[in-house]
Amino acid sequence: MDLSLYLPAVLGAFLITLLEMTEVVILVIAVSADHPTARPGATGAVLGVGLVSVIAVGVGAAIRLVPADVLLYTSGALLAGFGVVLFRSTLKSYRRARLPPGALPPGKFAGAVQFGTGLTSGAVEAVEVVVVLLGITAAGYAFSAIVGALAAGAILVVLALVVHERLRRIKVPWLKLLGTSMLFTFATFWFGEAVGVSWPGTDLFLIPLFVVSILLARAAIGAGLRITPRASIPH
């Protein structure tokens, strides 16, 4: 067996899986900032990835027939909706930071937002991974695709378990601001892809989009804090 024929396929499957699933992990951690655990988001992500994986195994190459724009429109709308909910929660966290501990109750829908975000992002990123893996499989490297994807998944799970608590120690308002910005960033990116926008640098354009999202979200929060005087915040 000439391993030189299989290593590029393994590496390709490994890198695409690691890249796309890392985005899911970061998003799940960010939106779980003020929740005791990241379990709802992680559960949603696992279900999203698992659902797409089962479909991929069941129908094989037929998954390519699913209209990509339909998936992107739907996912963009869902993440934008979750972003609005999380923005309201983020604004509440900034207000809470000005008050004594316990002055405001935790968000009622935090768990639902986490789960929905994890499910949506996990499914979308998994579809992107599956499409690439199906391409590798079609070229005759099915085993290489499986090995590369499983290796990346195993490494990412270990890293997530090791570092997620450290990331969650960042101050809640800031972490939730990052989470809100991420949701709007991915929603904008996927909407753009759905309407045919050719992003400069492809996925690398997520970085400037994220910076713009942070600036806009922070400006909106500043406006919200000025509109609602501290004294009017309910106890």
pLDDT tens string 91-148: 877 877 665 554 445 555 667 778 887 888 788 778 777 766 766 665 667 788 788 8
Residue 156 has pLDDT above 60, yes or no: yes
In a domain, 232, yes or no: no
How many domains does the chain fold into? 1
The CA-atom distances, in angstroms, between 119 and each of 34, 91, 158, 211, 213 are 19, 24, 20, 24, 22
In a domain, 171, yes or no: yes
Write down the pLDDT at residue 190: 78
Percent of the chain with pLDDT over 70: 71
In a domain, 66, yes or no: yes
Top-confidence residue, 56 or 52: 52
In a domain, 235, yes or no: no
| DSSP-derived secondary structure for the chain | --GGGTHHHHHHHHHHHHHHHHHHHHHHHHHTTTSS-SHHHHHHHHHHHHHHHHHHHHHGGGGGGS-HHHHHHHHHHHHHHHHHHHHHHHHHHHHHTTS-TTSSPPPTTHHHHHHHHHHHHHHHHHHHHHHHHHHHHHTT-HHHHHHHHHHHHHHHHHHHHHHHHHHTTS-HHHHHHHHHHHHHHHHHHHHHHHTT---TTGGGGHHHHHHHHHHHHHHHHHHHHHHS-GGGS--
Predicted model pTM:
0.57
In a domain, 71, yes or no: yes
Write down the pLDDT at residue 103: 47
Write down the pLDDT at residue 108: 59
Structural domain range at position 79 = 3-227
Write down the pLDDT at residue 231: 45
In a domain, 234, yes or no: no
In a domain, 176, yes or no: yes
The pLDDT confidence band at residue 33, using thresholds 50, 70 and 90, is low
In a domain, 129, yes or no: yes
The pLDDT confidence band at residue 216, using thresholds 50, 70 and 90, is very high
